[in-house]
Structure 1
């Protein structure tokens, strides 16, 4: 019961290396976007400016009723051979994800070498809009924007290999970072979570950070929250670690240990005395604990499992049945979240 709509996305991330090419005589694809218009698949492709020449470049667009025809149509509009081996980003629209034909999945195994740097992201808008705007920037602007947000922001780290593992593995669901445009500016703003072939849930940016804290090996990011009408906290997560333990009584113990730098604290708080430091630490711990648990409960009610609790359960039970786990066990899991904050240094003067 694998997910054919997801498999087809990998078609845009595969490449062969059978021939040798001179770099200034080919178009090296840096990013692609895929949209749907009725039954027609529309693809937008962007090439680095240093290959195409000086000045802003509009992306090349092509369309076809079948995926095989997309690349033929793209080649017909390109002045040089199109190579996909260095492609870093595939942007898919929500409409494409919901409507794409399952026949496209047939293409996935036609090549054997995958682009190791490729990342799949989703947009609620037109993928062409994202590609067109990014193509006006410096080469690889889009992939660097995504990488920066995965490293320092609220976007959980994903790439082609993560996606393949989520897609083929039992006991976990696919999630994709979301990008949108507003007033001519691109920004990462949340995560799309799947259950099977369906987009099940849209997480906002903060919920994306909570997922990141549970999934990433390197825990970094930035976080702001209010604890009252005039009580604002702003902090940078410098590093940390997480541990998830699924116990026999259906209780899930989640432990987070995060080292942070404070940028802003409420006016009536102080870090000069231990009592004030403890108050700030406890408020940050309480907020993160509460919000992470709320996000886990929301995911649980939707039936989606991007954290991979099913995978952890499978490791301990040889007779694991994915359908049975999500029907009978996952809805009854009780999440026990414990957060420990270590304040390493502060950028505030109080």
Structure 2
């Protein structure tokens, strides 16, 4: 009996595997990166990168082909690009999608809706906002890149930096924040710079439109407010010189107090860091100096945290998800009333910094 069951199972697996759509680089035009800009007459201009492998597979050296088309919507852009390709277009391995700041500020709700419904797209895909044209970024692989294609370079750029100063982000996280009650999404900003591209800050959404940004220098303080993380560095001015802190562990905890009608938040952050560089500070490393650096660091981070929270209130956005946090912990929580009172929400940020080790003096 067991032998029969095994045989039937084996046949079923064989039949199912035969139904899987296998996309090969020889038979399909596999899009790995796409970008969308504002086109003429309220249209969308889409650009894609398709790797071309010289050998017989993805391990071979690769170049890229870039195709561009304009249409009224994202799906139509895909159709127009297909007309330019001699092979069937495949987006199953799309790893990076970019949107121009100009387009995102006008609103990309329709595009987000399509992303959330398309089963072909991986939820691990990275998204980004380009300060400029996405077409230029896609078509110009930085000469300094160690990757063979621009799509691999951009994927690596976002992935690596979200292990340091930038908060974690991908399509899954973006959609969760976009659709959740009491939470708003954000994406990294990418800029062309000289012969390369780099992450330059964060763009914050209200609904489907970008309504505010912060520079790269504030990404570390924002991440401290948002999530626990290790790694990352922050420069702090101190006594006419500068100190570089190397994060070895940052943890954040939210606590909600008060009533449903008049809530109050305490945000407590503990940061352990090493001083890996001091420039322009001619003082001997002593416990007293360590305490002074800790105090200066606390003042710096609390000031930045307060400024960020004030900006979020002014823009009426909640990238920290405080509303979502409150909704899950208070009965009869009224999200509409929360939004009405959000600008007056009391948020107390308390940061503790512990310097564990000194590094380089110069």
The alpha-carbon distance between structure 1 residues 246 and 102, as it changes in their structure 2 partners (threshold 3 A), is closer
Q: Is this contact kept in 1: 2:44–2:72, CA < 8 A?
A: yes
How has the CA–CA distance of structure 1 residues 142 and 349 changed in structure 2, closer, same or farther, with 3 Å as cutoff?
same
Q: Does 1 or 2 have the higher relative contact order (CA < 8 Å, sep 6+)?
A: 1
- For residues 111 and 55 of structure 1, the distance between their equivalents in structure 2, rounded to whole angstroms, comes to 28
Rounded to whole Å, the distance in 1 between the matches of 2:110 and 2:171 is 21
Q: Is the 8 A contact 1:47 1:135 kept in 2?
A: no
Which residue number in structure 2 is paired with residue 252 of structure 1?
265
The structure number with the bigger radius of gyration is 2
For residues 190-222 of structure 1, the C-alpha deviation after alignment (integer angstroms, 9 at most, x for no partner) is 111112233221111122222211223324311
Distance, in Å, in 1 between the alignment partners of 2:107 and 2:299 is 43
Among 162, 165, 169, the residue aligned to 1:150: 162
| d(CA) in 2 for partners of 1:342, 1:245 | 22
Which residue of 1 is the match for residue 36 of structure 2? 34
Gapped regions of structure 2 (runs ≥ 5): 1-18
1:348 aligned residue: 360
Equivalenced residue count is: 330
Q: Give the SS at the match of 2:174.
A: helix
In structure 1, runs of 5+ residues without a counterpart are 1-16
How far 1:181 moved relative to its partner? 0.7
Cα distance between partner residues in 1 of 2:267 and 2:113: 40
Whether 1:207 aligns to 2:209 is: no
Pick from 49, 60, 68: which aligns with 1:46? 49
8 Å contact from structure 1 (residues 246, 313) kept in 2: yes
CA deviation vs aligned residue, 1:68-109 (integer Å, no higher than 9, x gap): 221111122223222212211110012222446866567456
- 2:279 matches 1:279: no
- Correspondences of 1:220-231 after superposition (within 5 Å): 220-228=231-239, 230-231=240-241
Aligned CA distance change for structure 1 residues 103 and 334 (closer, same or farther; 3 Å): closer
**Closer, same or farther: CA 231–193 of 1 in aligned 2, 3 Å:** same
Q: Specify which of 69, 74, 99 is matched with residue 67 of structure 1.
A: 74
- State the SS of the aligned residue for 1:117: coil
| Partner residue, 1:337 | 349
**1:57-77 deviation per Cα after TM superposition (whole angstroms, max 9, x unaligned):** 352212212322211111222
**1:251-293 Cα deviation digits (max 9, x unpaired):** 321111122121223514432x221221122211221122112
Residue 20 (str. 1) matches residue 22 (str. 2): yes
Match for residue 11 of structure 1? none
- CA displacement at 1:146 relative to structure 2: 0.7
CA distance in 1, matches of 2:116, 2:215: 34
